[in-house]
Amino acid sequence: MYNVMVVEDQAMPRQLFEAFIAMSDRYTLVHSIKNADMADIYCEKTDIDLILMDVCTELNSSGLDAAERIKAKHPEIKIIIVTSMPEVSYLERARKIGVDSFWYKEVSEEPILELMDRTMAGERIYPDKTPSVSFGYIKSTDLSEREIAILREVIGGDTNAQIAEKLNMSPYTVRDYVKSIMEKTGFRTRTELAVKAREMGIIIPERKN
């Protein structure tokens, strides 16, 4: 039997995970918490083998930050990141941190229990790419890395000049990129572009603390 901790702030998805664990005779639920900030504390005194970790948890605490702290102190604990956000940077960051597996709540076809079994068997399972969601006239995956980087700053509420300074580009180039993204997606204003990108979860701004 493996001891599992669920870190998920929303009751319904959390209880769904708990139900899957209850269905299985290979896993025991030891903790089910809502705030990722507390996850590493729970790992201090409890023997945990596997964590199902959401990315955006209560008080906007980051599951990826928590995973990084836990992996630094307890590399033996397996972590599966579970998210519904198609944010491109999550996959990359999870790999960098050393997270064992990554599961998209809405689109991953593999049942979560099967993913848990394979992860505990030592496999690292990652989706090939982030889920593609409609973004105006295009798909989110049609955006280039540079476009994503600029869009991320646009969402942060920065002006072209500020974005240019951050990304070491000319303000005119930034303006052209923003214009090009708007033309491709069909969004008429910068605000509409930013709001849709956030709503669709294509880009989730990092919280400050």
Partner 1 sequence: MMSFFNLPEYLQYSVVFLCLVTLVINIYCVVSCVIFEAQRRKLNLNLLLTAFTSVLFYLFASANFVYRKSIKGHSLLLDIFSEYGWAFMALLALLSVLSVLSLYLVEKWKREHITPASIKEGIDRLPAGLCYHNEKGVPKLINHRMDGLCRYITGEPLFDGSEFWRRLTKGEVLPGNTVVKWGENPIITLSDGNTVSFTKIEREIGGRKMYEIRATDITKQYGLNLELQEYNNELRSLNTRLQEYGENVYDITREREILTAKVNIHDMLGKALLVTKRFIESGDESITKAELTDMWKATLYLFEGGFKESSEDGSLDELYDAAKLMGINLTVKGQIPSDNRLLRFIMSGARESLTNAVHHAKATELTVTLYYEYSFFVIEYTNDGRRPSKPISEGGGLSSLRQSVESEGGIMETEIFPRFVLRLKIPSKEVSYV
**Alpha carbon of 15 to those of 9, 21, 22, 68: distances in Å?**
10, 10, 10, 25
Residue 122 Cβ vs partner 1, minimum distance, rounded to whole Å: 26
CA 141 to centroid of chain Cα atoms: 16
Q: Which is nearer to partner 1, 18 or 147 (CB)?
A: 18
Whole-angstrom distance, CA of residue 85 vs CA of residue 79: 17
Q: Which is nearer to partner 1, 170 or 191 (CB)?
A: 191
Edge-first strand listing for the sheet containing 78-83: 27-33, 2-7, 50-54, 78-83, 101-104
Residue 147 Cβ vs partner 1, minimum distance, rounded to whole Å: 18
Instruction: Give me the amino acid identity at 94.
Output: A
Residue 194 Cβ vs partner 1, minimum distance, rounded to whole Å: 5
Assign 62 to helix, strand or coil.
strand
Using CB under 8 A, list all residues that contact partner 1. 9-13, 15-16, 18-20, 22-23, 33-35, 37-38, 40-42, 44-46, 56, 58-61, 69, 72, 84-85, 105-106, 155-159, 190-191, 194-195, 198-199, 201, 204-205, 207-209
Q: Which is nearer to partner 1, 10 or 124 (CB)?
A: 10
Q: Which is nearer to partner 1, 111 or 186 (CB)?
A: 111
